[in-house]
A and B are shown apart, each in its own frame.
Chain A
Amino acid sequence: MFSLSRKNVITLVIFSAIVLTMPIWLKPLGAAYPGLMQKFVIYAIFAIGFNILFGLTGYLSFGHAAFLGVGSYTAVWSFKLLTMDMIPALIFAVIFAGIFALFIGYFSLRRSGIYFSILTLAFAQMSYSLAYSVLTPITFGETGLLIARDDPRAIDAMLGVNQSASGMPVPSLLGFELGGYSGFYICAVVLIVAFFLSQMIFASPFGMALRGIKSNQTRMMYTGFNTKPYMLTAFVISGMFAGLAGGLLAVTDPIAGAERMKWTESGNLVLMTMLGGVGTLVGPVVGAWLIKYLENIFSAINTNMLNNFFDFLPDGVQTVMVTVMSKFVGEGWHLTLGLMFVLIVVFLPGGLVEGTERLVRRFRRIAGPSDEPTGKMASGRAGND
């Protein structure tokens, strides 16, 4: 914590408070149930990890869902073979996703720009196809990988932990069974640690080097700087974050399926990061929360609710409105997602964080034009200083 600037420490404290009080402030928003909050937190970790690669280096990977998938599979296998404790599961998930990222990154990073994106996409699609075909003994293809009561669980058996007293075994932490709110708080703590790590990376010389690569890789190389190992490290770290997120998904719900590795999932991840603000610290988190929240809200709305909502309108108008709106909700939630995709890229390329900053600046200018620190705020993305 010593290497963080004062501002970053304050950000971290506020961030932790916001994350830990989620059950309170999400209640009026109608999203305060554990399953959803776990998703919020896990996808925030995923997006933070992705941002370390895309935000700092500008390399757009279209294959991050593969690392999430590898993390999930590893964690479930650890539940099956070793123990229902989450710590080994997460450690293995991170390590395996890291190794996998090292392999993919080693090859993909030989190219840049669009070629890098397509290489990562090709690798990810390859893993996805393999998970469905040849690797079915490991991944169990379309059924997905599930835990069973009679799995070996070597460590549990050795320690004499007997979980299978009633029903399916549940993931645990040092003997405490996880589920519901305890699961959420565990994930929340992991998110705070992940956020702290990302702050450290952003503030470190390593993070500076990555930003240098983003702004001008050739110049970095001319100054005698070997960019390769830095890029690879960033890629692997980013993959490990994805693996961690995948592992947590398995902890909260011990099942792993190949559909998590599909490339459209990677696309959604990119959207989360872009929506919040690429290259900012809190942006990806905000983006992930917003997308998951909207997904939950929009896909839950049905025609009855729409009818109630538009009840004040005359009958004919009401029918038209309900018909039109019903295309955007429920099953059609992806339509809203796609539109959001387009609108954000067109109108808000810097994401919500930059949008807010612009708003704040405008208000300040109205309030008192004299105390505007010129230029400072314009590049005032969090973590840049």
Chain B
Amino acid sequence: MDAILAQLLNGLDKGGAYALIALGLTLVFGTLGVVNFAHGALFMLGCFCAVVLRQLLTIETVTVDPTQLSPWGAAVEVRTPLVQAWLGDWGAFLVDYSVPISVLFAVPVMLVIGIALERGLIKHFYKRSHAEQILVTFGVAIVLQEIVKSFFGANPMPQPIPTDLRGAADVGAWLGMEANQLTYPMWRLVYLLFSLGVIGAVFAFMRFTTFGMVVRAGMTDRETVGVLGIDIDRRFTIIFGLAAVVAGVAGAMYTPLLAPNYHIGMDFLVLSFVVVVVGGMGSLPGAVVAGFLLGILQSYASMNEVKEILPGIDQIIIYLVAIVILLVRPRGLMGRSGIMEG
């Protein structure tokens, strides 16, 4: 029972990441009608926002302290981050919390990157075939990936969890079980809550603001909205930026869970496409539900009991589910019928 519950929790945080990436993908698809293979690369850029911020915050001064001696008798080099030297405890806090803070850093950066990408390239591809959209965005993904590689190298760059959030949360106790029956790493819990928060914010934005209303109207019937005198293209551009932001913050917060390297985006991309397809192309709730569903399924499939019966199932479960869904219910869980089947 506990094991099942623990795996459910394990699946939820991974599902959160899938859901966030798929949300952006399907948002772009629903508004612009573009199949964006560069979305995984945007997730990767988000991860590297966290890396860059931490590198900036930990620029150090090295002073030789003659009063302290190492075991070999040489003077010890004391490294102090500049931020800490300037701001004292507040600086130390900044360094410690670099990953959550990088979310704030990632938002403007990703917004700019997203809008630039849409204005500079993607907008020329609305009328082209999906195959060409896939190819051009695939090319963009490779370019972004290689640029990151040339600056940061090919090795994974692990990011630390803030000290206060390093422990395990006693989830079992909250649910009325005995203490330490069911513990769960605090940061994963934070990630889960964070992803739920972002998903909620995106839905609220689409649901309750005039901007969101116009965009939804544009998703249903772009021409009519245009005829009414609304510059729908500009709004769609901002939506592309928003999708980039969602992918970026999802990446930035994920860095402590999985050390980012330059091809982390490609690894997530295929999975998130599968998530989108399972949820239904262009359906926002579908993407979220499918994200969590596949995350949980994957985590159950990696249980040892399951692997004994079906070896290797943890590697392929997601693809298997996608294939079955596509064959049985091609529009996905919540998609409208007839989208992109021609």
Contact = CB atoms under 8 A, between A and B. Distances in A.
A271 interface: yes
Contact of B134 (A60, A112, A334): A60
Interface stretch (A77-85, A179-187, A262-270, A297-305): A262-270
A346 interface: yes
A345 B139 contact: yes
A154 B326 CA distance: 44
A118 B121 CA distance: 23
Specify the main secondary structure of chain A where it touches its partner: helix
Contacts of A134: 311-312, 315
Nearest to A326: B150
B143 A335 contact: yes
Contacts of B244: none
A118 B341 contact: no
A125 B318 CA distance: 10
B315 A133 contact: yes
Contacts of B322: 118-119, 122
Contact of B326 (A115, A327, A337, A342): A115
B257 interface: no
Interface in B139-173: 139-143, 145-147, 149-150
B287 interface: no
Contacts of A270: 135
A264 B266 contact: yes
Contacts of A263: 270
Interface stretch (B180-188, B205-213, B221-229, B273-281): B273-281
A133 B312 contact: yes
A267 B145 CA distance: 15
Contacts of B128: 349
A345 B270 contact: no
Contacts of B35: 114
Contact of B270 (A60, A125, A341): A125
A15 interface: no
Contacts of B130: 60, 113-114, 117
A250 interface: no
B138 interface: yes
A126 B139 contact: no
B323 interface: yes
A107 interface: yes
B8 interface: no
B1 interface: no
A107 B142 contact: no
B142 A110 contact: no
A338 B273 contact: no
Given A113-B341, A332-B150, A341-B143, 16 more contacts: A107-B327, A110-B327, A111-B341, A113-B342, A117-B130, A119-B323, A129-B315, A129-B316, A327-B147, A332-B146, A334-B142, A335-B147, A337-B142, A340-B139, A342-B121, A345-B139
Task: Pick the 4 closest A-B CB pairs, nearest first.
Answer: A341-B139, A338-B142, A134-B312, A335-B146
